[in-house]
Amino acid sequence: MSESLFVRLGSKKGIIKIVDDVVEAHMNNPIISARFTPYLEQPENLAMVKKHTVDFFSMGSGGPQAYTGRDMETTHKGMNISAAEYMETMDDIFKVLDKHEKDDQTKKDVLEILWSLKGMIIGK
């Protein structure tokens, strides 16, 4: 059997690096940066959101971490995130996966997860 997605993403250490790079990419993406740059002035909140995102992807990819953040619909409620913004976050994620030299199957597995979540996040 092939390795779990968690292991292919580099286990917890690798996922921490990916999440750091993705958040940085969002901060520099003109279409969505306004959603994220306020967190530069709230380092404790930013660290918590990052930790939750690492745990979320670790748990969702077959790792041992328990996710203790809010569910996706509650987290993004009231943000009215558009489909275009969602596409930008996906684009940033895939650019980072390319930078980390993840293979096509790994990217396909991540895409499947992101695709399955969109209805809980867009337009809430």
> Residue 81, interface with ligand HEM (CB under 6 A)?
yes
| Residue 28 vs 45, nearer CB to ligand HEM | 45
Residue 93 near residue 22 (C-beta atoms within 8 A) = yes
| Cα separation, 15 vs 21, whole angstroms | 10
> Residue 70, interface with ligand HEM (CB under 6 A)?
yes
> Residue 92, interface with ligand HEM (CB under 6 A)?
no
DSSP string, 1-37: -PPPHHHHTTHHHHHHHHHHHHHHHHHT-TTTHHHHG
CB of 8 to ligand HEM, least distance (A): 18
Q: Is the dihedral of CA 8, 10, 15, 19 positive or negative?
A: negative
Binding ligand HEM (rule: CB under 6 A), the pick from 52, 100, 107, 124 is 52
Instruction: Return the closest-CA partner of residue 57 out of 6, 119, 111.
Output: 6
> Residue 16, interface with ligand HEM (CB under 6 A)?
no
> Residue 86, interface with ligand HEM (CB under 6 A)?
yes
Residues in the site for ligand HEM, rule: CB under 6 A?
32, 35, 45, 48-49, 52-53, 56, 69-70, 75-76, 81, 85-86, 89-90, 114, 117, 121
